[in-house]
Amino acid sequence: MAKQFGLNEFASRITQKNTHPSPSEKRTVLITGCSAGGIGHALAKEFHSRGIYPSERVFATARRLESMSELQKLGITTLKLDVTRIESICEVRDQVNLMTGGTLDILVNNATENLMAVSDMDMDAARSIFEVNLYGALSMIHEFVQLLIASGDGRIAHIGSIAGIFPLPFSAPYNSSKAAIHALSNTLRVELAPFKQVSLLLTGGVKSNISRPLSLPEDSIYKSIEQTLLQKRVGISQVTALPTAQYAIRVVTELSKPNPRAWFWLGDKSFLCWIFDTFLWKTSLVCFLTYVLDLISWYTCSGWDFH
Ligand SMILES: NC(=O)c1ccc[n+]([C@@H]2O[C@H](COP(=O)([O-])OP(=O)(O)OC[C@H]3O[C@@H](n4cnc5c(N)ncnc54)[C@H](OP(=O)(O)O)[C@@H]3O)[C@@H](O)[C@H]2O)c1
């Protein structure tokens, strides 16, 4: 079980805040969702390659150990972790606690699930998105917070998404779970202010496995425009996406700074989203996406009657 803290230790931790360890000092990082081809995998490799994070100190986790075999060959510690199962989280917490002597410097909540249109989805699948994306992240923080406090310079990084702001159609549960992560990051930054820094990576398009091939159910109201719809949807996310390795370099560089940014926009279309979010009216993104995707004319071509 992780160490608990009394008032004196609490005060001493506050005074230690923002004292970044020297580059030669060993630091530890745990990342969720590190399967090959995704962002977590690239982050684990990048942290490992920096040298300031020795191999035995990067904990890459995923539901399937075989999906991290490349990381294991590099010498990175790979651990099996399903963020929706509290027993799995506690097991990993206890292993990390033993291997590090009771501390963790950086927790990266990265694991995710995605889905399609609200009208087509199964509600259990929609709930499972929140189980991974929101409750998984909350459980990880709850179980690892003592180890992060013990670090003296603990950091939490959430891989957020411009989808939490950008109203990307056909992924409403994912988008709303990401918006919840943004709110969680902001709240934690206040609530945990004496102990640690919380960073939100507002991620745009990055090459990964996130847009898996999908087919719509036979009774989907979008069935007649299925191919165009899927091509456009995957296109928005992946065609001009930032290579995963480049994304990982930028993120690890940011998280290694003495004071990483609280909100860090990165990835394809993240700048565009920032412009809309910062300078334009709240429904400007709705107007923009409706226009770009041209959904209304698709519906009309497909014989939809709106009246
Ligand atoms: N790629 C983008 O364009 C993009 C854009 C914005 C934000 N993001 C964010 O980036 C992060 C990484 O996503 P990605 O693009 O790398 O997608 P990805 O390639 O699909 O990776 C998702 C990872 O989460 C894991 N995962 C799913 N359910 C899990 C669970 N219950 N417990 C533990 N791990 C679980 C997956 O494991 P399995 O392999 O076992 O399924 C996989 O390792 C996510 O937070 C996502 O929202 C990505």
**With contact defined as beta carbons under 8 Å apart, do 205 and 236 qualify?**
yes
Residue 24 neighbours by CB under 8 Å, 6+ apart? 52
- Provide residues with CB under 6 Å of ligand 1: 32-35, 37-40, 62-64, 67, 81-84, 110-113, 132, 159, 161, 203, 205-206, 208-210, 237, 241, 267
Nearest CA to ligand 1 atom 1: 206
| Residue listed under structure tokens 């456009």 | 232
Residue 208 neighbours by CB under 8 Å, 6+ apart? 37, 38, 39, 241, 244
| pLDDT score of 173 | 92
Residue 247 neighbours by CB under 8 Å, 6+ apart? 39, 42, 203, 206, 266, 267
Which has more confidence, 213 or 218? Answer: 218
Residue 1 lies in a domain: no
pLDDT, averaged across the chain:
86
Instruction: Flag whether pLDDT at 20 surpasses 90.
Output: no
Give the pLDDT mean for 178-196.
92
Instruction: Flag whether pLDDT at 22 surpasses 70.
Output: no
Residue 2 lies in a domain: no
Closest ligand 1 atom, residue 131 Cα:
31
Q: Could you say which of 178, 196, 232, 269 is catalytic?
A: 178
Mutate to test the pocket of ligand 1, among 83, 210, 270, 272 (most ligand atoms within 8 A of CB): 210
Residue 197 CA to ligand 1 center (angstroms) comes to 23
Residue 38 CA to ligand 1 center (angstroms) comes to 7
207 catalytic, yes or no? no
Q: What is the phi/psi pair of residue 206, to 5°?
A: -135, 135
Residue 307 lies in a domain: no
How far apart, in whole angstroms, are the C-alpha atoms of residue 115 and residue 131? 13
Instruction: Flag whether pLDDT at 302 surpasses 70.
Output: no
Residue 306 lies in a domain: no
Residue 222 lies in a domain: yes
> Which of 5-19, 111-125, 227-241 is modeled with the greatest confidence?
111-125
> Which of 184-188, 239-243, 291-295 is modeled with the greatest confidence?
184-188
Residue 249 lies in a domain: yes
For residue 45, the enclosing domain spans 7-301
Closest ligand 1 atom, residue 37 Cα:
19
Residue 110 CA to ligand 1 center (angstroms) comes to 6
**CATH code for the domain in which residue 146 is found:** 3.40.50.720
Residue 278 neighbours by CB under 8 Å, 6+ apart? none
Residue 89 lies in a domain: yes
pTM as predicted: 0.90
64-83: per-residue pLDDT in tens?
A: 999 999 999 999 999 999 99
| pLDDT score of 11 | 44
174 catalytic, yes or no? yes
Residue 129 lies in a domain: yes
| Residue listed under structure tokens 């709106």 | 306
Give the pLDDT mean for 289-300.
74
Residue 13 CA to ligand 1 center (angstroms) comes to 33
Instruction: Flag whether pLDDT at 213 surpasses 80.
Output: no
The two most distant CA atoms of the chain are separated, in Å, by 71
| pLDDT score of 50 | 86
| pLDDT score of 18 | 43
The domain total for the chain is 1
